[in-house]
Chain A
Amino acid sequence: QVQLKESGPGLVQPSQTLSLTCTVSGFSLTSYHVSWVRQPPGKGLEWMGVIWTGGSTAYNSLLKSRLSISRDISKSQVFLKMNSLQTEDTATYYCARDRNLGVPFDYWGQGVMVTVSS
């Protein structure tokens, strides 16, 4: 069945770089896009970016200068890297299966909580 699972450090120091991995199963990264979405504690959802089936990417303009998404098809993994972290980046980070505009995210990972603190 379709599954996505995020992994990464729970604590990151301010100004450092966050590195997260989304490991997928039940579908191919060449057939579906994968988006990253984050949710600060007690707040709403923010779409961060997407890696498309062809390998190209698109980012939320608010995060574009700090964010990079890549993948390893052979390992069914998608990677998120975001630099210059600040306390306001504290959030639960989700990866979600994506198709094209017009189609919502039909499967989400369980999420990984990341705290930015010294």
Chain B
Amino acid sequence: DIQMTQSPASLSASLGETVTIECLASEDIYSNLAWYQQKPGKSPQLLIYYANSLNDGVPSRFSGSGSGTQYSLKINSLQSEDVSIYFCQQNYDSPRTFGGGTKLELK
């Protein structure tokens, strides 16, 4: 199975700040990488697919990048509603595997 290692596990940032979350795959996943946002008590919501494509309705302050085994999610100008847990997921091979999650809090 492809292992997804996400960092950091938790992150504290101020409103308006830019934050970056990293995801490392154990092998090349050829940009088949998605990012999800999970707010407390809610199901995951798709933010980004194919490493850098924004899902419909997702604010443009979110962006994704990366290739091969290394990927990142960037949030510009952090807003209060961005407080969530973020997960990466590889969709290159079965079983689909997720990163361990990054809990983003406000400082």
Chain A residues engaging chain B, CB cutoff 8 angstroms: 35, 44-47, 58, 60-61, 94, 101-106, 108-111
Contact = CB atoms under 8 A, between A and B. Distances in A.
22 contacts: A45-B87, A45-B89, A45-B98, A45-B101, A46-B98, A47-B97, A47-B98, A60-B95, A61-B1, A61-B95, A101-B93, A101-B94, A101-B96, A102-B91, A103-B49, A104-B34, A104-B36, A104-B49, A104-B89, A105-B46, A108-B45, A110-B42
Given A101-B92, A101-B93, A101-B94, A44 B46 contact: no
B91 A44 contact: no
B77 interface: no
Given A47-B96, A61-B95, 19 more contacts: A44-B98, A44-B100, A45-B44, A45-B89, A46-B98, A101-B32, A101-B94, A101-B96, A102-B92, A103-B49, A104-B34, A104-B46, A105-B46, A106-B55, A108-B43, A108-B44, A108-B45, A110-B42, A111-B43
Q: Chain B: interface secondary structure?
A: loop
Contacts of B93: 101
Interface string B53-71: 0010000000000000000
Interface of B: 1, 32, 34, 36, 42-46, 49-50, 55, 87, 89, 91-101
Nearest to A110: B43
A65 B89 CA distance: 24
B95 A47 contact: yes
Nearest to B50: A102
A28 B37 CA distance: 26
Q: Which of B1, B45, B92, B95 has the most CB of A within 10 A?
A: B95
B66 to A, nearest CB: 15
